[in-house]
Structures are given as structure tokens and as C-alpha cells.
Structure 1
Amino acid sequence: MVLLLTIALAACGGDSGTSAPSDEDSSSSWSDAIGSSSSSSVVSIGSSSLQNDKQKSSSSVKKESSSSVKTVSSSSSVIPASSGNLPSSSSKKDGGSSSAMTSSSSSNKKVESSSSEYVPFDHSHALAADWRIGENRYKTFVDPRNGRSYYYITITGRDTNLTTTTITVMAENLNVGKMVLGEDDQNDDGAIERYCYNNDTTYCDEFGGLYQWAEMMQLPSRCNTESCSELILPNHQGICPDGWRLFTYNDYRIVRFSEGNEEHGVAGLRSGYRFNGYNTTGFSLVGAGYRSEEKKFENLNEYAFWFFPTEKASEKAYVGLISITNDDGISESDWSIKQEGLSVRCVKLE
């Protein structure tokens, strides 16, 4: 059950220790490769391996029966930042800062030191330009649990049955919950918990939180290590706000095969902001990285990972992943370990 991920990590930027204000078609298990011109290493997170997408002319999946495994971490030693929780109107607690904050002190300045006042990240930088997707496509929604505002967009495309369908989906990753350190599991079943890359809430503000499968699903934490398939509902809400549900593989297909994205494919999902994409869909995917099974933070600005609300087995769930360089589609049968921490997107209920 081991997934193999080839990783050569570049140094990640950021203001570690700075606290944000309160706030396609392949089958088999997935793995990925992140290339380097000088070296590559292998991190154990899967049972197959994808060839280094900077070194290959195509991105076909090849099986590997055995490999020399070396664990690599991009995490640096940082001072844990506070989660800055706000009161919640639900039975779950949450925290985080607003992406389209209406605070009068908000501006798009860069933090110069840990003593500087943190300015919330302006998520409009990651959105598609009007000239590419059409004017007034983006709307905003405020999550009443913590007052955070999200951009969302309505997209029409073809689903898994090649039926033309329309969905309304968040154009940024969810950021809700109290922060827990990457070394810990999200096992408080009485609160929503999140990881922030490098244990720094400013990364949550910019890229969204990272969540284990059971946390995303809002199921008991035991569901990370045992099957809970009987608890999965149609239009499963999970940690999404009321009136929203978790993003599914069928939703991915609608976005991937959306109107106006025929030329760019997967690159049309990626934001041009640090993620080398065309964003012709308006989906604005960012490289939020992930929290690995080894409890380390990896691949910021290089990969986007998210769980689907479906199980593969007791300790595994199906996932989507898109790299900064690989323009191939994802598979409905790709999977990962439930205890990893991945991004979350939500779709509006009709």
C-alpha cells in the first residue's frame, strides 16, 4: 500500500512564524514526480510511480515493484503560529482570516518582518482576468462561521457521462478551523481542525488549509484508519459551509472539459499566480502542497492535492493531483493515505 512520489524540492519562500489574523485518465494508485535538474529522491506515499514530468516527453504511469526509498522534507524549523480562532455559530469551532476581507486596514502589501502587521492576502491575484473568462464571472460568498469571504464561479462543461452540466464552485481553497501542528493528527472530533503549511497561518490565508480525509468529511477521526463508506452521503457536505458540498471527480471533469477550455486542458485549471497555468476555466487552482503521511509539509507552489469524498479502502481515499508542469488529466482511481493533509474545494448546492 505504499505510494511512490519522486520529489526534488526547491526552497519555499514565506514568512515562517508569522501569524495571520483570525481567521485522466489512467487507472492504478497514484504517485507523482517533481523534477530537479540536479537530483531526485523518492518519498513513500503510493504503490506506483509517475515519471518525472520535467524529464519526460509524456506522463504515462509506470509500475515499480521495488525502489530505494528516501524521505525528503521541505519543512524548516519555525515558531508555531497561533490559529487566531473566531467564535463559531455551529457545533464545530473554526478560525482563519478573510480572503476578500472588508477590513478598512486591508491592503496588498508584503510582510517585511514578524513584527510587522500582517495584511490578509488578496485572492484576486490568483483569479483569471476578465478578458480571458468574461466579465463579472466571479461572485463572493461569506462563510458565517468565521466571516471569511470566498470567490466562486459558475462553470459549464461535460461530466463523466459527457452530459453538458453547470456547477458553481469556489475559486479558492477552503480555510476554516483551528490550526494544529503538522506533527499531530486531526483527531478532535468536537472541532474543525486544519494544517497550515510550515505551521504558519499566513500560508493558510494564501493557500487555504490542509485537511485529513475524515476531517474534510466531518466524520469521526477513526475513519482515517477504518472504513466508513456507510457514512458517505450523496452531496456530502463535510467541512463546507451550509449550502455547499465537497468537490467530486465528476465536478473535476466538468471543469476540465468546460466551455472555452478545449485548447488548454488541465493547464486551464491552474492559476497563473505561481502555478504556471492559463486559468481559462476560472477555477484558479494554486499549488498549496500537502502534509505528508510522514507529517512533513511538501511541494508548496509545485503541486495541488485534494481528496474526493470517496473511499478506496479502510486507510485510503481517492484523490486528485495536478502539478505545476504536468498537463495530463487525473484518474478517478488515483488514491492516497487518508491521514495526509490536502486542500478542499466546495461546490454550491442547487
Structure 2
Amino acid sequence: MKYFAVLLFSAVLFVACGDESSSSAPAPDPSGESSSTVEMAKESSSSAATKNSSSSVDGDKSSSSVKKEDSSSSVVNESSSSATPKSSSSEEVKQSSSSVVASSSSEEEELSSSSYDRTIAFKGVLWRAGDYIKFVDPRNSREYYYIQIDGKDTAGKAASIKVMAENLDIGEFVWGFEDQEDDSKIEKYCYKNDTANCNNYGGLYQWAEMMQLPSRCNTESCADLIKPNHQGICPDGWRLLTYNDYYIAVHANNNKDGVKGTRSAYGFGGSNDSGFSLIGAGSSWNHSFSGLNDNTYWFYPVESSVGGDQFVHASFQYSTAKGNPDEEVYKIHGFSVRCVMVE
């Protein structure tokens, strides 16, 4: 009997211990720590995605801030929607533009002293490097090459000119969507707003800027201000190219190819028989750049006789052109400039 009591006590003790052990190790709760970790990971991922999305938007805004008309309109819209004073918005745009222009100016100085060889455009069938004479513009120390071309003028008489074989590059960079309207200084466009293109192809100028007349002359007649041998933005001792000058280049004694002989043999479909060395500098057409390496335009210092106050005479060449045009175009376009020595 004593023995049976001991066995019964042992059995009860064993059952009690087993219940305590079972209650101290509960089954995992589906809403416990593992689920919380997943939710935290989701929140972290969502937060990171939101941050990256925000950074991407900021990056897009930064990129669009250097565009032309689009940047101005987008900044104005943001200003009105966020109730930011227009003066503040304008100041931010001005500061942004100033910093880019400063950067462009530094780049231009660096490019001006680079090893880019502009004389490659001079190569042709009849002209040699020795036929070109170097000239330095004292205003910005820019070097140009010019040549003497002997031929016939519009009256069929023998004539000679000393003309730059390169497009002029002088003035302060302004954005292509702006007008060149600061009459206190010379301003220029660089194709696609890239100062490297000014270094390689020359600047692009509105008519009044080329003429160094008040900017109002782009929309009204200033015929009374045009002088014989009009200097415009050319260096001292030089004048702006006229249609008669271009005619002499087309009808140069050495030129067997007509207008093709005025174009560079390097990338512009010409033979350069005349040595005039036209290159595809493109243009700013209604504040929109186009035609690099495919066309080139230049104004003459003559207003329109029939088109109205906003029109002037100009010529152009395409890489496949055969004609010798003298057209009337708007003064607000941005074209290349060539200069002729005053003799």
C-alpha cells in the first residue's frame, strides 16, 4: 500500500510539471514579431521609393531649368501655384541663368585657347594655307584669317576684296530665347546655347545687333542710320559684308564652281575654289536653332524695300545649294557675320 501511494504521488507530480512546461512555450502568434518586421520593411521600402521619386522630380526640374521657353513657363506656373511672389521667382531664374552663363563664359575662354583647328575649313581645290593672312581682333584677342579675292562685281567689272574667311565671334553670350536688346554691349547667340559652337562656327546675331544700332531697329525702320562702309560689330578698319562682296566671291577668278566654290570642302559640300570658306553654322530662326553643318545665313546692311520695317536683305547657302539667293527675312533671326577690310 505504501508503495502504491508513492507511485501515485510521482504520477501527479509528473503531470503538473508537463502542464507548466507547455504553458511557458506558446505557439507563434501570426500577428507577432515576424509580421511586424515585414510591415516595417514595407514601410521602409515605401519611404525609400517616395524619397527616390522626389529626388527624380527634383532632378527633372533641375534639368528643365536650362531649357529655353519651357523653363520660363514652368517656373512661372510653379510660382503662381505655390503663391510665391513673382519677384522671388524671377530672381531665382536670373541667378540660375547667371550661373550658367558664367559657366559658359569660362568654358568659352578655355575653348578659345584649345587646340581646335578652324583652318581645316579653308582646304579646297585651289587655295592653300599660305593664301590666308592672320588678323587679331584687339577687343577679345580672337584670331581670324582673311584672304584677298579677285573677281567681278555685280556690274561685271574687275574687283577685289580682302574678306574674313571665318565668321565673327565677339560679344557676350545670351540665351537663344531672348532678344539681343541690351544696347550697352555686343550680345551673341551660340548655337544650341553651347559656347563651343561660337568658338568653332562663330556667333549668331540679330540684324540690329550686327549693325550696332538700337534694338528697336529690329521692328522699325532705321534706314537713316545706315552708313556707307557700315562697320557694325566688325573690328576697327573693317566693315560688314555686302551683297556685292559676296557676288565677287562667287565670281572669283579662281572659282570654277559658282556658289559651290564659296563653301568649305570640309563638311559643307563645297570645293572652296574661291577661298571664301563658308561653313554650316546654322541659324537662330525665330529663336529656334537649326541647320548646323547643313546651312548658313548672313544679313546685309540693307533694309527691305518692299517687305516692311521688320525685314532686311540676306543670303544663305545649303550644303547642296546651287543658287545665289538674295532674300528678305525678319531682322530678329540670328545669323552669322563676315567682315571686309576697308580700303
Q: TM-score scaled by structure 1?
A: 0.66
Q: Secondary structure at the match of 2:281?
A: coil
Distance 1:346 1:143 in 2: 12
What is residue 281 of structure 1 aligned with on the other side? 274
Deviation at 1:276, TM superposition (A): 1.1
Deviation at 1:122, TM superposition (A): 1.3
Superimposed CA distance per residue, residues 191-219 of structure 1 (whole angstroms, 9 cap, x where no aligned partner): 10000000000000111000000000000
What is residue 155 of structure 2 aligned with on the other side? 161
What is residue 138 of structure 2 aligned with on the other side? 144
Does residue 339 in structure 1 map to residue 332 in structure 2? Answer: yes
Question: Contact 2:297–2:316 at 8 Å: present in 1 too?
Answer: yes
Superimposed CA distance per residue, residues 268-315 of structure 1 (whole angstroms, 9 cap, x where no aligned partner): 00001210110001111001111111x110111111100000000310
What is residue 41 of structure 2 aligned with on the other side? none
Q: Secondary structure at the match of 1:165?
A: strand
Does residue 318 in structure 1 map to residue 313 in structure 2? Answer: yes
The share of aligned pairs that are identical, in percent, is 50
What is residue 297 of structure 1 aligned with on the other side? 289
Does residue 308 in structure 1 map to residue 303 in structure 2? Answer: no
Give the count of matched residue pairs. 242
Distance 2:264 2:282 in 1: 14
What is residue 203 of structure 1 aligned with on the other side? 197
| Match among 203, 214, 233 for residue 208 of structure 2 | 214
Question: Contact 2:108–2:196 at 8 Å: present in 1 too?
Answer: no
Deviation at 1:251, TM superposition (A): 0.2
What is residue 96 of structure 2 aligned with on the other side? none
Seen in structure 2, the aligned counterparts of structure 1 residues 241 and 84 have a Cα distance that, compared at 3 Å, is farther
- Give unmatched runs, 5+ long, in structure 2: 1-98
Deviation at 1:133, TM superposition (A): 2.1
Does residue 179 in structure 1 map to residue 143 in structure 2? Answer: no
Question: Contact 1:80–1:181 at 8 Å: present in 2 too?
Answer: no
Alignment of 1:1-350 (within 5 A): 82=102, 103=113, 106-107=114-115, 121-129=116-124, 132-134=126-128, 136-261=130-255, 263-293=256-286, 295-312=287-304, 313-331=308-326, 334-350=327-343
Aligned partner letter, 1:258: A
Higher helix share: 2
Distance 1:97 1:280 in 2: 33
Please say which structure displays the higher CA radius of gyration: 2
Distance 1:124 1:135 in 2: 8
Deviation at 1:128, TM superposition (A): 2.4
Superimposed CA distance per residue, residues 104-123 of structure 1 (whole angstroms, 9 cap, x where no aligned partner): xx43xxxxxxxxxxxxx311
Deviation at 1:326, TM superposition (A): 1.2
Q: Secondary structure at the match of 2:232?
A: coil
Superimposed CA distance per residue, residues 215-266 of structure 1 (whole angstroms, 9 cap, x where no aligned partner): 00000000000000000000000000000000000001100000111x2110
Which structure is higher in RCO with an 8 Å CA cutoff and minimum separation 6? 1
Q: Secondary structure at the match of 2:120?
A: helix
What is residue 92 of structure 2 aligned with on the other side? none
Question: Contact 1:158–1:164 at 8 Å: present in 2 too?
Answer: yes
Q: Secondary structure at the match of 1:319?
A: strand
Question: Contact 2:123–2:266 at 8 Å: present in 1 too?
Answer: no
Seen in structure 2, the aligned counterparts of structure 1 residues 307 and 98 have a Cα distance that, compared at 3 Å, is farther
Distance 1:187 1:128 in 2: 37
Distance 2:238 2:183 in 1: 21
Question: Contact 2:231–2:238 at 8 Å: present in 1 too?
Answer: yes
Distance 1:284 1:166 in 2: 17
- Give unmatched runs, 5+ long, in structure 1: 1-78, 87-94, 108-120
Q: CA RMSD in A?
A: 2.1
Aligned partner letter, 1:330: P
Aligned partner letter, 2:143: S
Question: Contact 1:288–1:299 at 8 Å: present in 2 too?
Answer: yes
Deviation at 1:328, TM superposition (A): 1.5
Q: Secondary structure at the match of 1:136?
A: helix
Question: Contact 1:270–1:283 at 8 Å: present in 2 too?
Answer: yes
Seen in structure 2, the aligned counterparts of structure 1 residues 256 and 97 have a Cα distance that, compared at 3 Å, is farther
Aligned partner letter, 1:268: G
Q: Secondary structure at the match of 1:215?
A: helix
Q: Secondary structure at the match of 1:317?
A: strand
Distance 1:342 1:276 in 2: 20
Question: Contact 2:105–2:195 at 8 Å: present in 1 too?
Answer: no
Aligned partner letter, 2:272: N
Question: Contact 1:140–1:150 at 8 Å: present in 2 too?
Answer: yes
Q: TM-score scaled by structure 2?
A: 0.67
Distance 1:181 1:296 in 2: 11
Aligned partner letter, 1:226: E
Distance 1:140 1:292 in 2: 31
